[in-house]
Amino acid sequence: MRKIEEVLRLRFELKRSHRQIARSIGAASSTVADYLRRFTEAGLSWPLPAALSESELEAQLFPPAPKVPLSERPEPDWAALHTEMRRPGVTLMVLWQEYRASHPHGFAYSWFCEHYRAWVGRLDLVMRQEHRAAEKLFVDYAGQTVAITDRHSGESRHAAIFVAVLGASSYTYAEATWSQELPEWIGSHVRCFEFLGGVPEIVVPDNLKSAVTHAHRYEPELNATYRELARHYRVAVIPARAARPRDKAKAEAGVQLVERWILARIRNRTFFSLAELNCAIGALLVELNNRPFKKLPGSRASVFAAIDRPALKALPSVPFEYADWKKVRVHIDYHIEFARHYYSVPHALVGKELDARGSATTVELFHRGVRVASHIRSRRAGGFSTCPEHMPASHREYAKWTPERLREWAERIGPASACVISAILAARRHPQQGFRSALGVLRLGKLYGNDRLEAVCQRAHALHITSFKSIESMLKNNLDRSALVDELGTKQVPLVHENIRGPEYYH
């Protein structure tokens, strides 16, 4: 029973404040204020009429709500509200306020929330997940592959199927690639963003090696190239937790749809190229995205156009350029090796570990995040790309490794070794470029013995061989223990000619 009369007595007879009255009756100050407001609106005065009972007073202050016709209190369109909930910043309070603005006598907020949640609970589990517009893109590979047949040989090669699904609209992208390796993985992302016409806030991949170098529950380590792609497109990459398929339920559902509505329909077709397969996938992908939802209005394509597409971030002015990353160490010749070619760096970095980034056109070297060298990429195996400014003005700091010291080391092994080392250094434009090969040859003496190395160097000098790999191969095949003979079985005598440099040339 409400203590209405006590509130009125304390207020009008004893002139107590709202806070004092609230403490006296054990209620909130706002409750006291509400009683007094209703008393004034009801047109009553103090003291109350003697014939007015407490129940009659309560009826005047708290009249029952008027019965509103159903036409003035319609039930909201829950499917449309569910679609609106995916837009950024939209809440149930905002939607209820809009509903009451259109229907002033409509249902209260508590009823509105309770019935909306009950309606959502009747949807499929995947649909119950709340995804904001353009917030997440889930990516994965289908478990099935598609065979591509060579027209000439008849041999088949299986292509992987890349699948990407937007969280809010379930708009789906799919394509075939030759493998799940890093170049194809990165290329599929670039083409997917172009297909969408924009970039989401977050990409959620699985823990495949092309995405995650080291899987971890809390701090997974992304592949360096994948991390660079994320920076280029200003997108966050949050891998799904290992063995937690619900983290990427959208991707799982998208893969299932692609397998059922695309791959199953082309299972009996024979494809002769990757382009032909992707053409077939693209045509069926349009049908998949335009199929109406079963329990929601519209289709993937219509919801994408209404919700996701306007919220996507703009694509960068240029697409991402694929590049490989590699940890390298600077050798004593101030060069690093990348894809079997050697590139120079400032000589002060000798012995340091660098990050090498190789794109189709350039090779860049970074030390602690700062670029220290850049070269035009060369495909010449075993070649050198040397910038003059990277070379030291004087090799005093590196007196330990000079052409003279290498020759002295070789002379202690034997004259043939000295001739080979001198030939290796003379064959390079800069002697420092031959340090690596010369050291490799000299250290073979520790592995096979100086006597065997000297014997092999005699053979190498006679055949004009200056390659470390060739000399090493001779030792492995015991060619130092067989005489150097020509095809007629006679011992071959070194040629003497004015155009041929002998050992004395290097003294």
**Whole-number pLDDT of residue 4:** 79
Cα→Cα distances 476→414, 421, 471, 480, Å: 20, 19, 9, 9
User: Looking at the structure, do residues 196 and 150 belong to the same domain, yes or no?
Assistant: yes
69-83: average pLDDT? 74
Quick one: 229 and 372 in the same domain?
no
150 plus 278 within the same structural domain: yes
pLDDT(126) > 50: no
265 pLDDT more than 50:
yes
Q: What is the pLDDT of residue 486?
A: 46
* Alpha-carbon distances, residue 437 vs 48, 423, 441 (angstroms): 112, 11, 6
Confidence of residue 207 (pLDDT cuts 50, 70, 90): confident
**Which of 446, 435, 444 lies closest to 406, judged by CA?**
435
Residue 71 lies in a domain: no
The DSSP call for residue 197 is: T
pLDDT cut 70: percent of the chain above it = 84
Residue 488 pLDDT exceeds 80: no
Predicted confidence band of residue 297 (pLDDT cuts 50, 70, 90):
confident
Q: Is the pLDDT of residue 422 over 60?
A: yes
Average pLDDT on 239-252 reads 64
What's the total number of domains in the chain? 5
The answer to whether 118 and 106 are in contact (CB under 8 A) is no
Say which DSSP state 63 is in.
P
Please report, rounded to a whole number, the percentage of residues in the chain having pLDDT higher than 90: 19
Reported as a single tens digit per residue, the pLDDT across 391-421 is 876 544 444 567 888 888 888 989 999 999 8
Name, in order, each residue with C-beta under 8 angstroms of 185's C-beta and a sequence gap of 6 or more: 162, 208, 210, 211, 226
> Is the same domain home to 18 and 84?
no
Give the end of a domain, one of 291, 311, 331: 311
pLDDT recorded at residue 52:
78
Residues 141 and 264 in one domain: yes
Q: What is the mean pLDDT of residues 263-268?
A: 86
Compute, in degrees rounded to 10, the torsion defined by CA atoms 186, 188, 190, 191.
160
Q: Are residues 447 and 411 in the same domain?
A: yes
Instruction: Encode burial over 208-233: b for 16+ CB neighbours within 10 A, e otherwise.
Output: bebbbeebeeeebebbbbbebbbeeb
CA distance 286 to 298: 15
Rounded average pLDDT over 13-33: 87
Q: Are residues 345 and 451 in the same domain?
A: no
Cα angle at 178 between 314 and 135, to 5 degrees?
25
Contact (Cβ atoms closer than 8 angstroms) between residue 250 and residue 131: yes
**Shortest CA distance to 417 belongs to which of 388, 390, 455, 462?**
455
* DSSP strand pairing (362-367 vs 212-214): unpaired
Query: Cβ neighbours of residue 444 under 8 Å, at least 6 residues apart?
Result: 453, 471, 472, 475
173-177, 189-193, 383-387: the lowest-pLDDT one: 383-387
Q: Give the SS3 label for residue 357.
A: strand
pTM here? 0.52
Q: Domain check: are 244 and 306 in the same one?
A: yes
Q: Tell whether 337 is covered by a domain.
A: yes
Residue 370: predicted pLDDT: 92
Domain with 411, as residue range(s), is 401-506
Q: Which region among 129-133, 344-348, 421-425, 433-437 has the lowest average model confidence (pLDDT)?
A: 129-133
Q: What CATH code is carried by the domain that includes residue 249?
A: 3.30.420.10
Backbone angles phi, psi at 4, to 5 degrees: -70, -45
Q: Tell me if residue 381 falls in helix, strand or coil.
A: coil
If pLDDT is split at 50, 70 and 90, which confidence band does 127 have?
very low
Residue that the structure tokens 């420092």 belong to: 432
pLDDT higher than threshold 50 for residue 478: yes
* Residue-level pLDDT at 123: 66
Which carries the bigger pLDDT value, residue 251 or residue 316?
316
Higher pLDDT residue, 31 or 494?
31
pLDDT at 328 over 90: yes
Tell whether the model's pLDDT for residue 454 goes beyond 50: yes
> Is 131 within the bounds of a domain?
no
Q: What is the DSSP string of 284-331?
A: HHHHHHHSBPSSSSSBHHHHIIIIIHHHSBPPPSSPPPPEEEEEEE--
Residues 284 and 334 in one domain: no
How many residues would you count in the chain?
507
Query: Higher model confidence: residue 126 or residue 98?
Result: 98
Is residue 73 in a domain?
Answer: no
Res 276: pLDDT: 92
- Looking at residue 16, its pLDDT comes to 87
Residue where one domain finishes, among candidates 122, 153, 175: 122
Task: Compute the mean pLDDT over every residue in the chain, rounded to the nearest whole number.
Answer: 82
Task: Tell whether 128 is covered by a domain.
Answer: no
Residue 31 lies in a domain: yes
Give residue 125's pLDDT: 44
Structure tokens at 60: 């005047």
Same domain, 151 and 231: yes
> In which residue are the tokens 């002379």 written?
411
pLDDT at position 430, please?
A: 67
Structural domain ending residue among the three candidates 390, 424, 443: 390
- Do 237 and 356 belong together in one domain? no
Q: Does 127 fall in a domain?
A: no
pLDDT greater than 80 at residue 447: yes
Same domain, residue pair 497 and 427? yes
- Tell me the pairing of strands 370-376 and 384-385: unpaired
| Lowest model confidence (mean pLDDT) among 15-19, 44-48, 85-89, 97-101 | 85-89
Does a structural domain hold residue 318?
no
Scored b (16 or more CB within 10 A) or e, 260-274 reads eebbeeeeeeebeeb
C-beta of residue 460 within 8 angstroms of C-beta of residue 420: yes
